[in-house]
Amino acid sequence: MKAGALVVSGTASTTVRANESQQKSAKGPMIGMATTDFRTHTNAQLARELAAEGVQVVQLFLTQTDSNYWKYNGRSDLAGLTDERCKEIADTYRSAGLAIHSLGVYTNLIHPDPAERQANLAYFEAMMKVGALMNVRMFITEAGHYYDPKQPAPTVEYHFQEPVWKMMVETGRELARMAERYDATVLFEPFYRHFLATAKRTRVYLEEIGSPRLRVLLDPANLLEANDLGEMFDQLAPRIDCLHAKDRKLHVDRGVPAGQGDLDYVKFVTLAAQRTPKAPLILEYVGAKDYKQALAHLRQAIRRSGQDIG
């Protein structure tokens, strides 16, 4: 990414404020879309299509044909993402009436090699610079995962080992200091097979770090195997700034689009309205072929819970 001032133009800032005002005045929960699996769209095509379907907000992953810079559990070369291009991408969505809630990072913060962790933290900082240019201050990530295929499976899984907890607390504190410098917030997403394996473990981890810059993205499908919906909200509600809306079959590893698993969606959106009313519901694990069905399922659940559709 080219060096440049991290000041967004007055026009973009005005648009951001207008979008925020629109969100606050909308009835019902805010419905959004993660752009992760829309890999055959340009940003302009995607913005037009989602706006036409009544989507209000996007969670931006740099996976579109004209901004292909995202790599799960790793890092990407952002050299081609110039200051001007960052602003153009953000303006593409906002000019279509869509707010940008957050940027997806999902780098590996748990890697045992200190040099790899530092490189991934440097990548996280580069994404914060991208966010500043886009006037986006929210970033989402998992803790990451690590398995060594050349070694036998350890007696205690790597992400549950005591030294790894201590290492992750220090990494989290470093990430919090970074977020402070950029006036940013990082949302951690728990998943039952990784380091943040339960709602309680996630709460305890963030309490130990003790920074308001680190908060939570709750994806109930990720914890369905370990926690009931009520437990998730009881443990995490004060820290939740975003909710992922996908699904999962019990005892099955892979997530699926909303409505194709065992998650009680009416109860989910009811609890969301009661406990985290400002957190948007972001559809995930969907792309061009199946997002409309997932969107319809989410809207139906919202109506069945007695809420209005924004």
* pLDDT tens-digit map of 210-263: 999 999 999 999 999 999 999 999 999 999 999 999 999 999 999 999 999 999
CA-CA distance, 102 to 138, in Å (whole number)?
5
In a domain, 310, yes or no: no
What residues contact residue 68 under an 8 Å CB cut-off, 6+ apart? 39, 62
Give the number of domains in the chain. 1
CA-CA distance, 8 to 47, in Å (whole number)?
20
In a domain, 182, yes or no: yes
Residue 133 phi/psi, 5-degree rounding, is -65, -30
CA-CA distance, 53 to 119, in Å (whole number)?
39
Q: How many CA atoms lie within 13 A of 279 on its CB side?
A: 29
CA-CA distance, 154 to 148, in Å (whole number)?
10
Q: Decide if 35 contacts 284 (C-beta within 8 A).
A: no
Distance of CA 136 to the CA centre of its chain: 13
Whole-Å CA distances, 183 to 10, 169, 248, 280, 301 = 18, 20, 34, 21, 35
Residue 113 structure tokens: 């090699």
Q: Report helix, strand and coil shares of the chain as percent, to nearest 5.
A: 45, 15, 45
Higher pLDDT, 25 or 207: 207
Residue 309 confidence (pLDDT): 84
CA-CA distance, 180 to 104, in Å (whole number)?
18
Give the residue-averaged pLDDT of 42-56: 98
Q: What is the pLDDT of residues 19-44, one digit of tens each?
A: 444 444 457 899 999 999 999 999 99
What integer best gives the mean pLDDT of the chain?
A: 92
Q: What is the pLDDT of residues 70-82, one digit of tens each?
A: 999 999 999 889 9
In a domain, 171, yes or no: yes
In a domain, 11, yes or no: no
Q: What percent of the chain has pLDDT over 90?
A: 87
Q: Which residues pair with 185 in a beta bridge?
A: 138
Residue 263 structure tokens: 């998650």
Residue 174 structure tokens: 């470093």
Q: How many CA atoms lie within 13 A of 147 on its CB side?
A: 6
In a domain, 191, yes or no: yes
Residue 291 confidence (pLDDT): 98
In a domain, 60, yes or no: yes
In a domain, 309, yes or no: no
Give the residue-averaged pLDDT of 132-139: 98
Give the residue-averaged pLDDT of 191-209: 98
In a domain, 39, yes or no: yes
Q: Decide if 308 contacts 27 (C-beta within 8 A).
A: yes
Q: What percent of the chain has pLDDT over 70?
A: 91
* CATH code, domain carrying 139: 3.20.20.150
Owning domain of residue 224: 17-304
